[in-house]
Amino acid sequence: MTDYPGAAVEAADADGAFQIGGGSYNFGQKYNEQIIRSMFSIPAPTPGTALNLLRQQLERLPLDVLRQFQSLLPAPPDAWNSVQGAVNAITNALTDVAKFLGIDQWDDWLLNVFNHLSTELRQMIDILGGAIVTPINAAVAAVQDWWVSVNVYGQNLTVLIQKLLANPAEVIGSIPQTLVNGLSGALGNLQSMINQFGDIVNGLVVTPITQAVANFQNWFLNLIGFQRETSSTQINLQNFAISAVTSTARNPTWVCRYPIGDVVYPEYMNAQYEVYGFTDGQSAGTAHTHTLSLNNRAYSDAAGWSVLQNQSRGSYITISNSTVIDTMGMMLWKEGTTALNNVFMELFRENVDGSITRLVSVDVSSLITTSTTYVETSIPGQIVQAGERYLIRLRNASTTNPIVRSVSMTLTDAMVQGQFYTSTAATSGKSSYTAAECSTARGASMISPWGLLAAKNLPLTDQSFSDDFNRSAMGGLWSLITVIAAGSAGPQKNLAIVNGKCVSTGSITDGGALFKGTQSAVYVRPTNGDAQRVDGNVYPATSSQFHSGLAMHCSRDGSQAVVLAVANNRVAIWTGSLTAVSMTERKAVAGGGAGLYSMYYDAPRNTYVVLKNGEPIGLEWTDTDNVVQHGRDFRYGGVRHGRELGLGSGPIDNWTLRDWQPPMSDEAAAAVA
């Protein structure tokens, strides 16, 4: 059994609906003669199946044909107003007959009367299949006449077109000369139209010669564009979801100095802990106490454990989220002033079987001083997956026999054993270790050096945030802003979700008061860049004074916003604050009405461009005076509704804010390439 897609976006990308004669889902394009005939074949009736077979066949007939039985059966006139009613009238009559017949009479009726009806039905099916039939009664004759009348027009039209294309003279010869003028050119245009249809399907660039061709071209391009857009949207959503995990800041500084990284243990545990108080009284003799002053304080901190010549110490780190690490670091220092060489910070990946393989080895000798120092080194980007374990270790292969120390914690037997220690040149110098060797190294010491693995220089990835409002309330995704106009008697109301759309609230029945003002909201997540795009389905109110707005380049408190304002008869670009009742209109055009609206920022031109249903509507505004601020704090988006006298602007649905760059021209793309 074929598992057809259940969601529209899956069906749109299944190819079958867009590929003639094929695709994963053929959508009825693979019917053959055998399948068609099976749809009209009738199994031999038996006493147990006769009535069901009769009902199935009757339900396939047009109502006009079923009405031929009206005069034969005692059923009310309104029973013949629908196919289902007529079929019920026929089968009910048969059922009533069966109730009053004995079993012998019932069998006799099935073998004689029903077989006669079956013959009628078989003749009707033969007629529908194109066979030549001599009707046995008026009912069959009515079906035949109806079917012929349906087919003759289609057949004649097909023959006419074929003759016009193959032999126009055969048709033209029988037409008076006064009607022939211009027909030859018309036939040529018809052939050109057919050729253009083929070129469009094959993906060629076509300048339509008629409106019919233009309409077909628009339909076909929209169809292909929808398929590509659906596939592109799926890929974008996948990438945005992955980027939210791999490139979103998540670490507080007390855990790790870098937002995207993993550590052996929280970095703040390397701090020094001060201790103040009093000493205990002595057990015998003269009792006395000693205070712990600022000059004579006690303290504790993470110890520095030695890594002697030919030794190595390391710790395992479990990756919390998939990313690309490019940095590793440890807390190190050396004793004495002897120059160091061949001291390596190394990274190993743990394999499925518990063995480890070295990925990176960097000589950090020149970075280690006599003071406790955070020592960091860049490494080639390593793709790491959540749940994987890596070993970061320090290996001392110096020929000058120095003592190098690493800030470490001492584990206990009850803890997960994540330490690693080797003590000879032979065991320390290996580039891979078996699972058994790793087990031995973990059991050789309880010392676990601190270390980090981080994605320090990970490039920012474009972000996309959407809200379909298919829930009960705005919730924590939005910061709501309501402004009550001066003199308004209405209570403060906020945006709400009604029937899966974002709407303004505050009706004329709210305590008899009338709300006047604006209701807005700012989404809680910003994009990564200034080149933004906001989209949404807008359904303006019937009154032209109310505008429903899509906002971009918002500050997080709403004190700045660029709004695409849509009414039922106009569309405008506004700037200003969502915390004010009114904003400054920068440019407007006539039009408006419901649709999918978009506004994007063309950064090189410092221009805002508006689209409706994906097409420009002639509305652009260039910020020549640079009134709109840009940067990290102005990359939020939102919505805005106006409201007055208990009435408000129309709802908004399927809102999206994303990083977006307009397509490059061919020349610009070639220059980049």
Q: Are residues 433 and 361 in the same domain?
A: yes
Q: Which has the higher per-residue pLDDT, 308 or 151?
A: 308
DSSP annotation of 401 reads -
Cα 292 to Cα 104: distance, rounded to the nearest angstrom = 116
pLDDT on residue 553: 98
Confidence of residue 11 (pLDDT cuts 50, 70, 90): very low
Instruction: Please give the residue that has the higher pLDDT: either 466 or 276.
Output: 466
Say what the pLDDT of residue 17 is.
43
What pTM value is reported for the model?
Answer: 0.56
Phi and psi dihedrals of 655, rounded to 5?
-80, 140
CA distance 523 to 174: 73
One domain for residues 309 and 425: yes
pLDDT at 508 over 50: no
**What pLDDT sits at residue 564?**
96
Tell me the range of 140-149, 174-183, 413-422, 641-650 where mean pLDDT is highest: 413-422
Phi–psi pair at 261, nearest 5 degrees: 180, 170
Residue, of 97 and 645, whose pLDDT is higher: 645
Least confident among 137-141, 165-169, 289-293, 433-437: 165-169
What mean pLDDT do residues 582-594 have?
92
CB 411 within 8 A of CB 419: yes
Q: What CATH number corresponds to the domain at position 631?
A: 2.60.120.200
> Is 418 within a domain?
yes
359 is a domain residue: yes
What pLDDT is recorded for position 13? 47
pLDDT for residue 97 is more than 70:
no
Among candidate residues 400, 432, 454, the one where a domain is terminated:
454
Q: What's the pLDDT score for residue 555? A: 96
Please tell me the predicted confidence (pLDDT) of residue 179: 46
User: Could you give the residue ranges of the DSSP H alpha helices within 389-514?
Assistant: 425-428, 435-443
Predicted confidence (pLDDT) per residue in 148-192, tens digit: 655 554 455 455 555 555 665 555 455 455 444 554 555 555 566
Which of 434, 454, 474 is at the close of a domain? 454
Do the beta carbons of residue 596 and residue 614 sit within 8 Å? yes
**pLDDT given at position 398:** 93
Residue 134 pLDDT > 70, yes or no? yes
592 vs 358, more confident: 358
pLDDT at 514: 52
On whether residue 305 sits in a domain, the answer given is yes
**Residue 22 placed within a domain:** no
Residue 3 makes CB contacts below 8 A (sequence gap 6+) with none
* Pure H helices in 392-434: 425-428
**How far is Cα 307 from Cα 282, in angstroms, rounded to an integer?**
40
Same domain, 438 and 490: no
- Return the SS3 of 168: helix
**What does pLDDT average to over the chain?**
77
With pLDDT > 90 as the criterion, what percentage of the chain qualifies?
38
Residues 190 and 223 reside in one and the same domain? yes
* Highest mean predicted confidence (pLDDT) among 14-23, 285-294, 478-487: 478-487
Q: Does 319 share its domain with 431?
A: yes
Q: What phi and psi values does residue 506 have, to the nearest 5 degrees?
A: 115, 85
Same domain, 580 and 644: yes
Structural domains in the chain (count): 4
In a domain, 383, yes or no: yes
Is 7 contained in some domain? Answer: no
Question: Is residue 253 assigned to a domain?
Answer: no
Of 230-234, 315-319, 382-386, 528-532, which gets the smallest average pLDDT?
230-234
Per-residue confidence (pLDDT) for residue 439, from 0 to 100 = 95
Residues 404 and 477 in one domain: no
Return the higher-pLDDT residue of 64 and 512: 64
| Whole-number pLDDT of residue 627 | 96
Q: For residues 310 and 361, state if they share a domain.
A: yes
Expressed as residue numbers, the domain containing 200 is: 178-247
Q: What's the pLDDT score for residue 417? A: 87
Residue 537 has pLDDT above 60, yes or no: yes
What is the percent of the chain where pLDDT is above 70?
Answer: 62
pLDDT of residue 492: 65
Residues 421, 484: one domain? no
Angle in degrees, 0-180, between the axes of helices 83-100 and 50-58, rounded to the nearest 10: 160
DSSP 177-245: GGGTTTHHHHHHHHHHHHHHHHHHHTT-----SSHHHHHHHHHHHHHHHHHHHHHHHHHHHHHHHHHHH
pLDDT value of residue 38? 55
- The verdict on 92 and 211 lying in the same domain is no
Across 398-415, average pLDDT:
89
**What's the CA gap between 288 and 252, in Å, rounded?**
46
470 and 337 both lie in a single domain:
no
Is the residue at 111 inside a domain?
Answer: yes
Higher-scoring residue by pLDDT: 183, 59: 59
- The model's pLDDT over 598-643, given as tens digits with 9 standing for 90+, comes to 999 999 999 999 999 989 999 999 999 999 999 999 999 999 988 7
Which residue reads 């007055």 in tokens? 644
516 shares its domain with 375 = no
pLDDT of residue 251: 85
Higher pLDDT, 215 or 327: 327
CB count within 10 Å of CB 248 equals 15
- What CATH number does residue 432 fall under? 2.60.120
